[in-house]
Structure formats: C-alpha cells, structure tokens
Chain A
C-alpha cells in the first residue's frame, strides 16, 4: 500500500505545573498518493503538532503513522518539509542548498546536477544559482526551499505555512507555483495554512480542525485546485462556489474562535 495513513493519533503534553494539554485527540485519515490536502483551523487546534508528528520530529502519545505501509519513527528523506521561513542554510549558495539532499545521500554532481538546474529553472531562479541566500527576497527564498525539497524526491511534502510570511502579491504567484509543481511532480502534499482562501485554492482535500482537544472537525473535497492548474487563480476565485465555501468555512472558524474566547473568559 502506498500513501500515508494516520491512525488514531493522540498527543498529550504534560506541563510542569501538573496539568496536561490535549493537543490532538483520535485523529485518523488516509492520504492517497498524489493528493494535495490543506489543513485549516484556529490557532491551538494542533495542526502544526500534527505536521511535526507526520514529519517524525515528535512521537505521538498514542496511535501510529504509516508511510508506504511501514510505521514512522523519526524524520526521513521520504517525508520532505517546507518551513514557514525557508530554514535555508545561509553558508551555502542557492544551488548548494537545492542539492543538499542528493549530496548528503552521497550522489555525485554528474547524477544530480542536471536535475537541480532543471528545478531551479522551474522555480525561476536559474539566474541566481551562485547567489548567497541573504541576497534573495523572501519569495525567492521560499522558492529555494521548495526546490530543495523536490530535489530530494520525497514521497510526501509537508508544508508548514510556507507562504505565511510573504506579501499578498508574492503569495498569489507562489500559490500558482505550488499548484504547478504538484501537477508536474504528482507528489502527495499536506499544506498547513492560516488563510481560508489559500486552503480553498490549493486543497484538493480540505481538512478543518477544531481545538481543545485538537481534532478533525470537517473535511471537504474541492474542485478549485484542479481548476487552478490551468488558469489564473483570480479567475478561480470568481467561481460562484468559491465564495459560498469561503463564507461557510470562515463562519465555522469564526464560531470556533468565539467559543475559545468565551471559554477563556469563563476560566478567568
């Protein structure tokens, strides 16, 4: 069996003061190969914790993650990660950042060189190969991070608010790029975001999570990601269903936030 399956995942953090936080409770889902799933939810719903467990940076207190049939224990090259702020290596050139994975695997320039150059071309950085990371803009840095992840051929790409730190215009361009890369490479992608629009545009599947304890609230299957592959994302946003779905999900998250506020007011 290929793909990713999350089975009855629970995560409890014990705090030093004796209390405990239930970050995730009984989360289960299956992701088929080539699916793009966006995850949305109010702050504190455990979406980043979920991603960190899938990446292998955290061990769950209960449940198991299966990747291609085997259980996950710790980070691995099969699950690539794109962070909110690039997490690039400043001491390497753009090209050395992108070729980091193959180089660590002991491959030689002859093996990976052509592909790395091709990836840099796809993300539009062919003229910046030998530049230093600090010479690039935020959007360019995120493109390097995407290319670095792809160059390592992961089965699943995990994105933790990868476009969150970018300005609106750059963000729109990057959304198109993510869709293009998804279609061209056929990778399985989990994308965490704060933006309802982004989740709708990019998510073939959209998971809305609820907080305290973190759990799956609702799941959608959406047509917009497929629509967006061929055309301008601004056209997709004009789709009548898009506005309806956006209002529905915004309302849902708004209610959850209200509830959290109310509860914390009661507590205090």
Chain B
C-alpha cells in the first residue's frame, strides 16, 4: 500500500537523521570549543572598554549580538580543513588527514575443497594501487599442494573478482569450492574481514576482494580542493563544452538581467496602476495573486514547449519570475504612501502628475528595491534550474553535463561559482539600495 511505503520512506529519512546526529553534535562541539578558545584569547588581548562590553544583559538583547568575524573566519577555514582532511588534500597537513584507502600489497589465505581431495590451503596476494595508476599483479610462487597461490591487482576504492580455482589442479568441474578465508568459514553471500580489506563470496562461489576504503572520499564523490581549483584554472583558460567559463557565466547573467529588466519594466507600471486604480486592481488581482505562488520552476516545461530551449524561452521564464514580484512590490509601495504626505502635497499646490513624480514614485522606491532583491535572487535560482533542464550554454548546463560524466570537480566548482555570483548580486543590490534610498527603514 502506498501509505505504508510512504511511512517506510519517512522512517528511512528519520534513521538517516539519527545516524547523522553524532556528527552534527561533533560539529557543534567544535563551534563551542573554538568559542571558548576565542573568549579566552580575547580576554587576554583586550580589556573591557567599549560600551557594549559594559552591558550586563546580553543574552536576549538583540542589539548586543553582531556577527563575530573571528567565528566566520574559523567557520570557513574549518570547512576547507574538513574538505581537505577527508579528501587527502595536499593543502592540509597530513596529520590532519582522515585515514586513507589501503594502498600496497596485502594477502589472505583460502581453504579449498574438491571432490575426493583433502582440503588444501593457498595464499592470494593482492597489490592495491592508487587511483589513476596502473599496476600489474605481483609474481608469486605457485606453492605446494593442489591449490596454487594466486595474485591480482586492484585500484583503491575498487573491488575485484579473484578466480582462485583457475590455476588450481582441480577446477569447478571437479567440485572446487572455497570453504574458508584466513581460517574463517565462508559460504556464498557471506564475507570475511581481513587485515586490509574484505573478502566476499558471490552466490556462485567466486571470491571478491575489496581493499579497505578508509575514511577519505573517493575523488568521484568529492575531489580535493586543489583538484577543483586546478579544474577551475583549466576551464577558465580552455573552456568546457565549446565555451569558455566566462561565456557560460555571462550567458546565465545575461538571461537573468534581461528577464529581470523586462519584468521590472512591465511589473512596476502594472503595480502602480494596481495601486492607483480600483479597476486595474480588480482586473489584475486574480492574475497576479494566482501567478505569484506558482514556482517559476513549474513553468519550465510549458516555456520549453512554447519557446524552445533557446534564449527566448529562458528570458520569458525569468521575465515571468520577476514580473509578479515586481508588480506586487510596486503595488505595496503605492499603497504604503502615508495619506498625509499626499494631502500635504495637494495643499502645497501640486498637481496629480507632480504628486506621482515627487511623492508616490519616490515613496514606493524602498518597497521596489526590496522586491528587486527578491526578484534577482529568484531569477538567479530559476536560470540555473532552467539550464539544468535544457541549455546549450550557462552555469547550470555546465554542471549538469559534468555530472553525467561524473566530473565532480566541475560540479563543485560550478556550485561554488553560482553561490559566489548569487551572493555578489545581493551585495550589489544592497549597495544600490543604500545609495538610492538612504531613508529606507529610518522613517
């Protein structure tokens, strides 16, 4: 029944969360530890002198809580240290590295039986080489008895089937079967832990060696920071999928700006009309109120059907993403004008046009800027999502294509760049806001 399935899904999610709790607790422990160290350092360095330090009530006093730059710096540093530690990065001193995967030569013994033969023991020697290197299986003596010694080579984080019966005197036709590994009994479907890995047995009885993986992440899951950086330098100079990095990012930004500017050009006058005329308000209210909660991502399929995956489709999508937000912001800005200001302007002899230009429009600017910040954020998120679905160029397309080839370093580089650009857009909007509507929030 679907409901039970759903419940089972919830249970799995819950179990995953519970399993993550010790790690979250460890992370919080690190935060608190650095906090105490920082407090101690600060007490040593700076005696109390500013006004804030004289406050006795700080817990619950919002004004006493400002972002601590030291905490931010340590936080970012810690992310890179953890990233480096679990990827074996060269940037992180090796004593901080998490245990890596086993590399080198290891061996285990197996006990085989065959029809009418006494059980015999032989050794398997495995050479485990690092990712990206090639290695041959080591040369080994066949040894005595009917079961001969074997050898093989396997890459770190990989596993390999080892047909131990191949070189033995009695093969599967004679009923060759492995009964124990390192003296521990084994049967199809079971496994035995060895010193440097794990020996499993397939349902058909073939042995399978998996070298110990350690705690580090395989590069295809998480590449080291320096690998991402060198990939960034490579793509910045050589490009990816026929376009330079600058071209990919410029296309994404161009779509955002084109869509946002069109949305603002139509949305702001629409919002003004809705704020100033009951007919316009009535006409557009159902449309705006319905379209505003529709996530722009839900429009992607329709926009692709109507306009294809080219630039028009993207710009139309972002236009629709920005339009409603800007219309509602402009409407709120007009509605928010204090009636006394309009009355004052009329009493000072201003005409309707002058009131529009000198009172209503400037008064609505703070709301419009708030809307613009939201709209730019939504547009940036939407463009990346639209490019993930279908595009020939763009930041989202770059990481989507890279993920299909398991080029995780490009995916991570793309995510970091997308984050930096989104953050940069918000910072620019805030600076513009401070310069253009300095009275915002001070009335």
A residues with CB within 8 A of B: 55-57, 74-77, 79-81, 83, 85, 87-91, 100-101, 104-105, 132-134, 148-149, 152, 154
Q: How far is the CA of A101 from the CA of B354 in the complex (A)?
A: 11
Contacts of A57 in B (CB 8 A): 343, 346
Pick from A55, A91, A133: contact of B343, CB under 8 Å: A55
Contacts of B443 in A (CB 8 A): 90, 134
B442 at the interface (CB under 8 A from A): yes
Q: Please tell me if the beta carbons of B348 and A87 are within 8 angstroms of each other in the complex.
A: no
Q: Please tell me if the beta carbons of A76 and B349 are within 8 angstroms of each other in the complex.
A: yes
Pick from B346, B358, B439: contact of A132, CB under 8 Å: B439
- Closest Cβ neighbor of B343 among chain A residues: A57
- Closest Cβ neighbor of A79 among chain B residues: B347
Give chain B interface residues in 331-378, CB to chain A under 8 Å: 338, 340-341, 343-351, 354, 358-359, 362-363, 365
A87-B343, A91-B363 known; A100 vs B438 contact (CB < 8 Å): no
Give chain A's interface secondary structure class. loop
Q: How far is the CA of A132 from the CA of B344 in the complex (A)?
A: 18
Contacts of B438 in A (CB 8 A): 132
Number of A-B contacts (CB under 8 A): 72
A81-B347, A89-B345, A134-B443 given; 5 more Cβ-contact pairs under 8 Å: A77-B349, A81-B343, A104-B345, A104-B350, A149-B348
Q: Please tell me if the beta carbons of B363 and A75 are within 8 angstroms of each other in the complex.
A: no
- Interface residues in B, total, Cβ within 8 A: 23
Minimum CB–CB distance from A215 to chain B (whole Å) comes to: 25
Q: How far is the CA of A171 from the CA of B221 in the complex (A)?
A: 71
Q: How far is the CA of A156 from the CA of B81 in the complex (A)?
A: 74
Q: How far is the CA of A90 from the CA of B340 in the complex (A)?
A: 13
B residues with CB within 8 A of A: 338, 340-341, 343-351, 354, 358-359, 362-363, 365, 437-439, 442-443
Point out which of A79, A87, A148 has the most chain B C-beta atoms below 10 A from its C-beta: A87
Q: How far is the CA of A180 from the CA of B344 in the complex (A)?
A: 23
Q: Please tell me if the beta carbons of A104 and B348 are within 8 angstroms of each other in the complex.
A: yes
Q: Please tell me if the beta carbons of A100 and B340 are within 8 angstroms of each other in the complex.
A: no
Q: How far is the CA of A77 from the CA of B351 in the complex (A)?
A: 11
Q: Please tell me if the beta carbons of B348 and A89 are within 8 angstroms of each other in the complex.
A: no
Q: Please tell me if the beta carbons of B358 and A89 are within 8 angstroms of each other in the complex.
A: yes
Would you list the 5 A-B pairs with minimal beta carbon distance, nearest first? A77-B349, A87-B340, A75-B346, A90-B439, A91-B362
Minimum CB–CB distance from B440 to chain A (whole Å) comes to: 9
Q: How far is the CA of A28 from the CA of B346 in the complex (A)?
A: 25
Contacts of A87 in B (CB 8 A): 338, 340-341, 343-344
Q: Please tell me if the beta carbons of A148 and B348 are within 8 angstroms of each other in the complex.
A: yes
- Closest Cβ neighbor of B361 among chain A residues: A91
Pick from B340, B343, B349: contact of A101, CB under 8 Å: B349
A89-B358, A91-B363, A91-B439 known; A83 vs B340 contact (CB < 8 Å): yes
Minimum CB–CB distance from A190 to chain B (whole Å) comes to: 13
Q: How far is the CA of A77 from the CA of B347 in the complex (A)?
A: 5
Contacts of B362 in A (CB 8 A): 89, 91
Pick from A55, A88, A134, A152: contact of B349, CB under 8 Å: A152
Point out which of A75, A76, A149, A152 has the most chain B C-beta atoms below 10 A from its C-beta: A75
Q: How far is the CA of A91 from the CA of B436 in the complex (A)?
A: 9
A91-B365, A101-B349 known; A81 vs B344 contact (CB < 8 Å): yes
Q: Please tell me if the beta carbons of B439 and A77 are within 8 angstroms of each other in the complex.
A: no
Q: How far is the CA of A132 from the CA of B363 in the complex (A)?
A: 15
Q: How far is the CA of A57 from the CA of B341 in the complex (A)?
A: 12
Minimum CB–CB distance from A78 to chain B (whole Å) comes to: 9
Can you report 24 residue pairs joining A to B where beta carbons are below 8 Å apart?
Answer: A56-B346, A57-B346, A76-B347, A77-B348, A77-B349, A83-B343, A83-B344, A85-B340, A87-B343, A89-B341, A89-B345, A91-B362, A91-B365, A100-B348, A101-B349, A104-B349, A104-B350, A104-B351, A132-B439, A133-B439, A134-B442, A149-B347, A152-B349, A154-B347
Minimum CB–CB distance from A207 to chain B (whole Å) comes to: 21
Minimum CB–CB distance from B154 to chain A (whole Å) comes to: 71
